[in-house]
Amino acid sequence: MPPFLKSVWRSTQKNKKKKKQNEKATGTSAKMDLANKAICCAMRKTGAKLSDIRKLVQKTDGKRPSLAAISMAALSFHTEKKKRGVKPGRCKITKEDEKKILQKFHKLRPPGHGIDSNVSHRALPKKLREKISRRFIIRLLASKGYKPEKKLNKTDPGVKLKLTRCNFGKRHAGKSPQQWKSHLQACGDFKEFTWYPTELQPTFQKLRAAWTYMRKSEKKLPAFVRPKRWFAKKDYKKVKKHKVFGLTTSNGKSLSFSCPSPWNSVLWAALVDKKVNPFLKRAFPGKRKFHLLLDSEPLLHTDAAKAAYTRAGITTEAWPKYSPDLNPQEQVWAWAEPKLRRLETGKDAFEPWQKKVLKAVQAYPAKAKLIPSMARRCETLVKRSGAMLDD
């Protein structure tokens, strides 16, 4: 037999042997009851030897299992445990218990507040919590029509704006991601991040939720649409704003900086000369002209700003107003917001919190994909006849 065929034959025999061992182990572990499998799993976690575990467990026929069977039982125990979720109707709970679960759910979830099944399960009395699983709560809520839904936060652009947006999509529909990279050097936008004092943090954490359990009939109610203002005017005076400008290039580089307060077009023109222009020259060595997609904020298109763009060799893309969903830079803000809330402690003073804002913005991972995503955005825009995009 040639050496090549001999090695193939050996590996085939080896695989057959391993397969038989696995089949044998699986069959043996199936004869162990749940209590013995639990012992295998618990002792394996502590690092006990298979030979020591074998002395403590047995099969349903009273015999000792093999070492392979013990290993398989320990691995399969968690998988089987997950499958043992109790469904409504199968769990022995009374109507009174079901009423308690729903009452606790409604108490934890005033209209619009974010909540998940873990929070609902932990809030139940100990005896009831031990009787049911988290999965049971999910299924019970689903049977009553409550399902996890993303909150609405986009507005209808109207007939006229829809037509303008659709025309924009048609004008650029033929461009591929690579063509967008050569057509557009960067996209930029302003974003105001909000600092909330310690006393407002608990309320903010509930209201800022992007999703919650709701019925279909509740989805369009005002309480379930993400509000632009979280608090009453007297409380809102306690919060502070921090404005940031972000610019992301087609070759995956980014610039972000804090905007001074008060803010005006003269200061913006100075920052174009001081920061934006040098950054673009570093990002694209040898290039003298740059085509950018900027937000439709009026301050970006004043005479002072246009003069600064001319000096820097910058031209801007004409695009529909009130269309933040078409600017890829918005994806950076959507990613940075939850990142910032994970970085903050809830007790941060405003000054150190500002540094965390820039840290969150600069950590965005998919910079090189933003400009090419314009191809998909334009295609989706045409399909939706100018309606707002979902992302």
Q: Tell me: pLDDT of 332 over 90.
A: yes
Confidence of residue 279 (pLDDT cuts 50, 70, 90): very high
Q: What is the topology classification, in CATH, of domain 159-196+239-383?
A: Nucleotidyltransferase; domain 5 (3.30.420)
Q: Residue 362 corresponds to which amino acid?
A: Q
Over range 259-263, report the average pLDDT.
Answer: 87
**pTM exceeds 0.75, yes or no:** no
Q: Tell me: pLDDT of 12 over 90.
A: no
If you average pLDDT over every residue of the chain, what do you get?
A: 82
Over range 209-226, report the average pLDDT.
Answer: 80
Confidence of residue 86 (pLDDT cuts 50, 70, 90): very low
Sheet architecture: strand order including 240-249: 254-258, 240-249, 186-195, 290-294, 314-316
Candidate from 120-129, 146-155, 266-275, 318-327 with smallest mean pLDDT:
146-155
Q: Output phi, psi for 210, to 5 deg.
A: -80, -15
What are the tens digits of pLDDT across the range 89-135? 455 678 899 999 999 998 888 877 778 888 889 899 988 888 888 88
Q: Residue 339 corresponds to which amino acid?
A: K
For 21-34, b where at least 16 C-beta lie within 10 A, e where not — what string? eeeebeebbeebee
Query: Which residues pair with residue 246 across a beta bridge?
Result: 189, 256
Q: Give residue limits of the domains in the chain.
A: 3-83, 95-150, 159-196+239-383
Q: Tell me: pLDDT of 257 over 90.
A: yes
Confidence of residue 209 (pLDDT cuts 50, 70, 90): confident
**pLDDT at 364 (0 to 100):** 94
